[in-house]
A and B are shown apart, each in its own frame.
Chain A
Amino acid sequence: GIQVEQSPPDLILQEGANSTLRCNFSDSVNNLQWFHQNPWGQLINLFYIPSGTKQNGRLSATTVATERYSLLYISSSQTTDSGVYFCAVGLIRDDKIIFGKGTRLHILP
């Protein structure tokens, strides 16, 4: 089956720092989403981005489908950005949406 790999697995940063999270996938996809799971366990959809670039405030994402990766950029980190960031992909040949194992981000005040 498809492999969805996220890196780094863990990241600790000081408030105000910038970060880049990466998602690599092993098959062609027509659906790619980024989620933030906050410390209370809620899963928030950040971006639906099967290709191209999108920005939402301090967050932006880029997916290069032909090279099978996506990047999530977080600028000027705040403590509320802490949590787990998941990449999820849907295959062209399938109806499943598969999640990566996540990047655990901890922002220090």
Chain B
Amino acid sequence: DTAVSQTPKYLVTQMGNDKSIKCEQNLGHDTMYWYKQDSKKFLKIMFSYNNKELIINETVPNRFSPKSPDKAHLNLHINSLELGDSAVYFCASGADLNSPLHFGNGTRLTVT
């Protein structure tokens, strides 16, 4: 039973489109995150939610909008996709803000 699951695994789309990535965790954790991994493998935090409340918004363009309908879910919606948005997006969860992170398997987004 997967602890942190992301869908879809791959996403190929054209510039200007709007797309969403879904994340669900079944660990009962309070905190969820979105990270972006670029082509050089650098992992950068985008958002953090604790108990459905936005804690961190790391100067991400407002084309990116996270949404947490409940503690187990954190979805990422991206408007007006750009070439530079191509990356692997990872969802993660932790029991609280100072706990080990558990990552999903990532969503590889390719914008053409």
A-side residues, CB < 8 A to B, are 30-31, 33, 35, 37, 41-45, 48, 84, 86, 88, 90, 95-99, 101-102, 104
Contacts and interface: CB of A to CB of B under 8 A. Distances in A.
29 contacts: A30-B98, A31-B98, A33-B100, A35-B103, A37-B41, A41-B88, A41-B105, A42-B103, A42-B105, A43-B90, A43-B106, A44-B103, A45-B100, A48-B100, A95-B50, A95-B55, A95-B97, A96-B45, A96-B48, A96-B56, A97-B33, A98-B45, A99-B35, A99-B42, A99-B43, A99-B44, A99-B45, A101-B40, A101-B42
A95 to B, nearest CB: 5
B99 A48 contact: yes
Interface of B: 33, 35, 40-45, 48, 50, 55-56, 58, 88, 90, 92, 97-103, 105-106
A86 B98 contact: no
- Across the A-B interface, give the 6 residue pairs with the lowest CB-CB distance, nearest first: A43-B103, A48-B100, A99-B43, A95-B97, A31-B98, A45-B100
Given A43-B103, A45-B103, A96-B56, 19 more contacts: A35-B101, A41-B88, A42-B105, A42-B106, A44-B103, A45-B102, A84-B41, A90-B97, A90-B98, A95-B56, A96-B48, A97-B33, A97-B45, A97-B101, A99-B35, A99-B43, A99-B44, A99-B45, A102-B42
Q: Pick the most buried of B40, B50, B103: most chain A CB atoms within 10 A of its CB.
A: B103
Nearest to A102: B41
- State the main secondary structure of chain B at its contact with A: strand
